[in-house]
Amino acid sequence: MQKTHLNIAGLMSGTSLDGLDIAVCQFERENNHWTYQIIAAETIPYSDSFRALLTNAMTFSGEELTAFDRSFGKFQGEAVAAFAKKYKLKIDLVSAHGHTIFHNPQKEYTLQIGNGASIYAACGIPVVTDFRSLDVALGGQGAPLVPLGDELLFSEYAACLNLGGIANISFIKDNKNIAFDICPVNIILNYLSGRVGKAYDNGGALASQGTCISDLYEELNKLDFYTAIGPKSLGREWVDTVIFQIIKRYDHYTIQDLLNTCVTHMTHQISIAINAIPELTDERRVLITGGGAYNTFLIQEIRKYLLKNIQIIIPDENTVQYKEAIIFAFLGLLRVLNNTNTKNSVTGASRSSVSGALYGDFSSFYEDV
């Protein structure tokens, strides 16, 4: 049995812009089976002004973006230090996903801000960050990265579906990790809700009052991304330049109708992905996490189109909200153990890799592991 006895803080800032998720976890391995325990978890909400900076960062000059990369790293490091003090915890490792500003693996680049040196300088705790760059350099998508965590921490499920800013799914097929981004979810729903003064559509209440706009629904479903063969991933800039430009042509419809149409579109794409997972058992259990799991209308609509032997499982609130932060804590642990944490069967890279940049003094860490 291997138990790390280390408190590892996983940090996640997703495309839905809810805030910075911090989940401090411990991991244990017995007979090649990993389990985890959440010690403490919290979301540090972004102010409206900070959310606007994250939204508009892709338009910054090189100098502005460099400065913001550093300031966001400092923000994360200070948040971890305050978190440790609040919960009276000794944190041994920070594993930070960063916040994605650009993601275009077809042109061989990806950028997650939140400078690792700045995180380390602000909290004094060893840091792992920049998980995507090596995979992209190896010809991969650099995303999604959570499937290895899904395989090792949530193996009791036939598939794991995350409904965050972008929906993604992972499962095992022919003994290989298969995963891909499905479609935008909360990026779109939050954007439309914001136009009527709401941060999000609580429970899908607004969408449930609308009617599907058939022309918009058909136009969204015809986008080339949905017929592309994986590995494939989506970035915020694609949503801005493609999806939002399409939606703007239908601005004369009500927000309720636009939300309903987008939910119907998402439901269509998500149900196709779920229904295609391998039939490993008579009953296929699908774990659903991410903010979209709270959207009861979206979940209700997804259920309508699933095959009869597929069962949706929405777990406890901590897992729903912090699963990605938990997995990034785990990927950081694998990185410092020099274990593979990025699988080329998922990303399409030339090989699997041990990904992540290290900042700080890791000597005591290796003594404890």
Residue 1's pLDDT is 40
Q: Is the pLDDT of residue 362 over 60?
A: yes
Amino acid type, 249 = R
239 with 142, same domain?
no
209 with 264, same domain?
yes
Strands 159-163 and 19-30: unpaired
- CA distances 176 to 9, 162, 234, 362, Å, are 28, 19, 22, 32
Residue 284's pLDDT is 86
176 with 300, same domain?
yes
pTM to 2 decimals?
0.87
Number of domains comprising the chain = 2
- CA distances 351 to 97, 110, 173, 340, 348, Å, are 21, 18, 18, 10, 8
> How much of the chain exceeds pLDDT 70, in percent?
97
Strands 176-184 and 127-129: unpaired
Q: Among residues 279, 304, 319, which one ends one of the domains?
A: 319
75 with 206, same domain?
no
Residue 368 confidence class, pLDDT cut points 50, 70, 90: low
188-213 tens-digit pLDDT = 999 999 999 998 999 999 999 999 99
Distance CA 343, CA 67 (A): 32
Mean pLDDT of the chain: 93
Residue 281's pLDDT is 55
Residue 270: CATH number of its domain: 3.30.420.40
Summary count for the chain: helices (H), strands (E): 15, 14
172 with 247, same domain?
yes
The DSSP bridge partners found for residue 284 are 310
Sign of the torsion angle spanned by Cα atoms 149, 152, 153, 158? positive
Strands 109-113 and 310-313: unpaired
Mean pLDDT of 42-58: 94
Given 3-state DSSP classes, what are the helix, strand and coil percentages for the chain, each rounded to the nearest 5?
A: 45, 25, 30
Name 278's Cβ contacts closer than 8 Å, sequence gap at least 6. Answer: 158, 171, 172, 173
| More confident position, 30 or 191 | 191
132-170 tens-digit pLDDT = 999 999 999 998 899 899 999 998 999 999 999 999 999
Distance CA 205, CA 301 (A): 13
Tokens 């490993």 sit at which residue? 280
Residue 264's pLDDT is 98
The number of residues in the chain equals 369
Q: Among residues 303, 319, 335, which one ends one of the domains?
A: 319
76 with 203, same domain?
no
283 with 346, same domain?
no
Q: Which residue in 340, 316, 304 sits closest to 147, CA to CA?
A: 340
327 with 196, same domain?
no
97 with 227, same domain?
no
Strands 127-129 and 93-96: parallel
> How much of the chain exceeds pLDDT 90, in percent?
83
- The overall longest dimension of the chain from CA atoms, in Å, is 63
Q: Which domain holds residue 52?
A: 2-146+322-368
Q: Which two three-digit tokens encode residue 358? A: 């290290």
212 with 335, same domain?
no
Residue 327 confidence class, pLDDT cut points 50, 70, 90: very high
312 with 346, same domain?
no
Q: Which two three-digit tokens encode residue 99? A: 């916040």
326 with 281, same domain?
no
